[in-house]
Amino acid sequence: MAFELRKYTPPDFETEDLRSAPDARLVPAPADGVAPEGFHAMSIFPEYFRLGGRWLLAEESRMDCVPVLEDGRIAVREFRHLKKGDPVVCGRTENGEDGIFVHADGFAEAAGQRENFAFRTGRSRETSFTRDYDELRELLRYERENGKIVWVLGPAFTFDSGARDAFARLVAGGYVHALLAGNALATHDLEGAYLGTALGQDIYTQESRPNGHYNHLDTINRVRGCGSVAAFIEDERLEDGIIASCEKYGVPYVLAGSIRDDGPLPCVIGSAYEAQDAMRAQVKSATTVICMATMLHSIAVGNMTPSYRVTADGTVRQIYFYCVDIAEFTVNKLADRGSLAAKGIVTNVQDFIKQLAEGLGV
């Protein structure tokens, strides 16, 4: 089964309804960080705005953010990034009557799939997942050559030596193009590389080391002393694990700070909103996103990932979004928020990643 992208069918703007649609209404933002009343908010689907008689596609969308006309294009802005006077599209219909057209059916098969999905009313531990593994494997082979694969990792992902090694092999194999995580994931992973433990427990034998609760603090303190993760890795000649592999293969990673952090590590972005910006900078070019074992980061990234991407040559393609977690609650949470394109896999991420790496032959 060779992987093939679904073809995108743009809207037919020659229908009577859309031909007679008015221009979208633009209203200046009344103050910095504030949208005008009646502002339009984006969905995950391709949306077109009629302006000057032409339909403009928002090329880099983000759910729940606001379309702004900028240099003849539609930019999609977070509220906090609005500037007073920015011309914001207003209107809350989706069928063109206000010059706004939301194109939910652009990927024909996708529509079919959605129907199926609805039938199941969410995925559970009892869903049959073998086909999803098969499809994902083919997808990743395609994306390694043609796309950008962004991974989002929860802190506990790196507690198991096998999972950690599998991910490092995926990095080495070219299947990881960006990593989004937090201070804890990086700390635990570096503790593994430095001392062989995570929170003081051996990541293979499960044995607790004497005074092992110091291990993550010692790791953080050493990194802070070295001044950077890269310097620490070099000083200590670390080779294994997620972060060391990213450093070695030049994979960019964004570490967002959180209120539960110790330390933090030097490169962690303390501001939630600067972290959002840094994450969106990676997601803006992503074609496949895989979230594992994190609700916070999955929702954060899910919110900023639309269902489509406009590629360099102007074609519109689908974005694939996977959420892998042992809790149905987490997996189904994204669907509840409107990210219907998300595909959930309910399992322990350790097994998911080991099986995926095995299937990809890395």
Q: What is the DSSP letter of 105?
A: T
Site string for a copy of itself, 190-209 (x = CB under 8 A): --------x--xxxxxxxx-
Under rule CB under 8 A, which residues in 134-193 are in contact with a copy of itself?
156, 159-163
Hey, CA dihedral for 266, 171, 284, 336, is it positive or negative? Answer: negative
Under rule CB under 8 A, which residues in 315-354 are in contact with a copy of itself?
326-329, 332, 335-336, 338, 346-348, 350-352, 354
Torsion of CA 163, 123, 140, 305, to 10 degrees: -100
Crossing angle for the helix pair 349-360 and 161-172, to the nearest 10 degrees:
40
308-347 as b/e: b if 16+ CB within 10 A: bbbeeeeebbbbbbbbbbbebebbbbbbeeebbbbbbbbe
Contact status: 125 vs a copy of itself (CB under 8 A) = yes
Shortest spacing between CB 311 and a copy of itself, in angstroms: 26
Contact status: 300 vs a copy of itself (CB under 8 A) = yes
Shortest spacing between CB 82 and a copy of itself, in angstroms: 9
209-228 as b/e: b if 16+ CB within 10 A: eeebeebbeebbebbeebee
Number of residues that bind a copy of itself (CB under 8 A): 91
Shortest spacing between CB 331 and a copy of itself, in angstroms: 11
Q: Strands 149-153 and 87-90, how do they pair?
A: unpaired
Under rule CB under 8 A, which residues in 62-81 are in contact with a copy of itself?
64, 78-80
Q: Closer to a copy of itself at the Cβ: 150 or 316?
A: 150
Q: Are 310 and 47 in contact (CB under 8 A)?
A: no
Contact status: 95 vs a copy of itself (CB under 8 A) = no
Shortest spacing between CB 221 and a copy of itself, in angstroms: 5
Under rule CB under 8 A, which residues in 17-46 are in contact with a copy of itself?
30-31, 33-35, 39, 41
Contact status: 228 vs a copy of itself (CB under 8 A) = no
Per the DSSP assignment, residues forming a β-bridge with 27 are: 88
Hey, CA dihedral for 304, 306, 310, 311, is it positive or negative? Answer: positive
Contact status: 361 vs a copy of itself (CB under 8 A) = no
Q: Closer to a copy of itself at the Cβ: 287 or 350?
A: 350
Tell me how far apart the alpha carbons of residues 113 and 124 are, in angstroms, rounded to a whole number: 17
Binding residue (CB under 8 A) for a copy of itself from 5, 217, 230, 251? 217
Q: Closer to a copy of itself at the Cβ: 129 or 253?
A: 129
Under rule CB under 8 A, which residues in 237-266 are in contact with a copy of itself?
256-264
Q: What is the DSSP letter of 65?
A: -
